[in-house]
């Protein structure tokens, strides 16, 4: 069987081959992804000795991903989604912000990105957009869903899409698009911006589609700053703001 056909079969089965040009930090799908912590992967393995956890119910949509980001935006844990419910287990003590992605292309998040930005000067806003776009030219489209200001740093929640041809190192065509979510930190230098760090939180292959839409975004305060100690934190049904 040709390599391209094997890759397509793997993608259809919901798995990503982590080699060559395909290995850009994507995570395997399925329950065993909680324990993936290899180089190039984006999810943090849970700590078997940690007794903390988070459970909740999303009142709208069917979950595909439920993610918990720690305060330092270093560790990202993936829960076991079940229809509209999620359960994080073995979380270390700390505060977490949640990101929920649904099958109907919606993203709900409670990221602590700082104070709401007042309107930036046009030149500064343009430079910010340009800097984020150029930070990863592999993705040909991007959208800043939300950004805030923390101690003269901008934190931005950004979605990227690649809907151009994807090749393996062997030159075979992968019949898929890629969608990624990340949290970017930038500092200002004069009227320009410099990206100081980024944390990928989601990366998924999708069927080829011309100009796929970005995820519909909603900020949900109930998903922000959830304190986990030594027991499971039960959130119940999440309150979603009306659009």
**pLDDT value, residue 50:** 95
Q: Would you say domain 3-110+219-237 falls under CATH 2.60.40.1120?
A: yes
pLDDT confidence band for 34 (50 / 70 / 90): very low
**What CA–CA distance (Å, rounded) separates 241 from 243?**
6
141 φ, ψ to 5°? -135, 150
- Please answer whether residues 210 and 163 qualify as being in contact, where contact means their C-beta atoms are separated by less than 8 angstroms: yes
Burial string for 43-77 (b: 16+ CB within 10 Å, else e) reads bbbbeeeebbbbbbebeebebebbbbbbeebebbb
> Any residues with CB less than 8 A from the CB of 158 and at least 6 apart, and which?
132, 142, 143, 144, 145, 181, 182, 183, 184
pLDDT in tens, 120-132: 788 888 888 899 9
**What CA–CA distance (Å, rounded) separates 111 from 87?**
18
- Above 60 in pLDDT, residue 51? yes
- Above 60 in pLDDT, residue 234? yes
pTM for the model stands at 0.82
- Please answer whether residues 109 and 141 qualify as being in contact, where contact means their C-beta atoms are separated by less than 8 angstroms: no
pLDDT confidence band for 221 (50 / 70 / 90): very high
- Above 50 in pLDDT, residue 211? yes
**What CA–CA distance (Å, rounded) separates 195 from 148?**
14
**pLDDT value, residue 99:** 98
pLDDT in tens, 166-204: 888 888 888 899 999 999 999 987 767 889 999 999 999
Using a 10 angstrom Cβ sphere, with 0-12 exposed, 13-18 middle and 19 or more buried, the burial of residue 198 is middle
* CA distance from start to end of the chain: 49
For 109-150, give the secondary structure using H, E and C: ECCCCCEECCCCCHHHHHHHHHHHHHCCCCCCEEEEEEEEEE
């Amino acid at each position: 069987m040709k390599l391209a056909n094997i890759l397509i079969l793997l993608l259809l089965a919901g798995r990503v081959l982590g080699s060559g040009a395909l290995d850009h930090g994507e995570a395997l799908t399925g329950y065993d992804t909680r324990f993936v912590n290899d180089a190039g992967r984006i999810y943090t393995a849970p700590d078997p000795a940690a007794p903390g956890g988070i459970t909740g119910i999303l009142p709208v949509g069917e979950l595909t991903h439920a993610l918990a980001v720690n305060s330092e935006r270093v560790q990202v844990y993936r829960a076991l989604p079940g229809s509209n419910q999620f359960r994080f287990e073995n979380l270390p003590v700390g505060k977490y912000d949640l990101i929920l992605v649904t099958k109907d292309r919606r993203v709900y998040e409670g990221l602590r990105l700082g104070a709401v930005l007042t309107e930036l000067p046009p030149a500064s806003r343009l430079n910010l957009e340009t800097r984020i776009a150029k930070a990863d030219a592999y993705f040909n489209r991007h959208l800043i869903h939300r950004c805030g200001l923390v101690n003269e740093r901008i934190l931005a929640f950004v979605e990227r899409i690649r809907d151009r041809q994807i090749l393996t190192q062997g030159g075979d065509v992968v019949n898929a698009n890629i969608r990624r979510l990340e949290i970017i930190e930038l500092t200002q230098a004069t009227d320009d911006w410099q990206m100081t760090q980024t944390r990928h939180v989601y990366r998924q292959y999708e069927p080829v589609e011309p100009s796929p839409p970005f995820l519909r975004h909603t900020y949900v305060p109930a998903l922000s700053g959830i304190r986990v100690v030594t027991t499971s934190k039960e959130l119940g049904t999440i309150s979603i703001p009306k659009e």
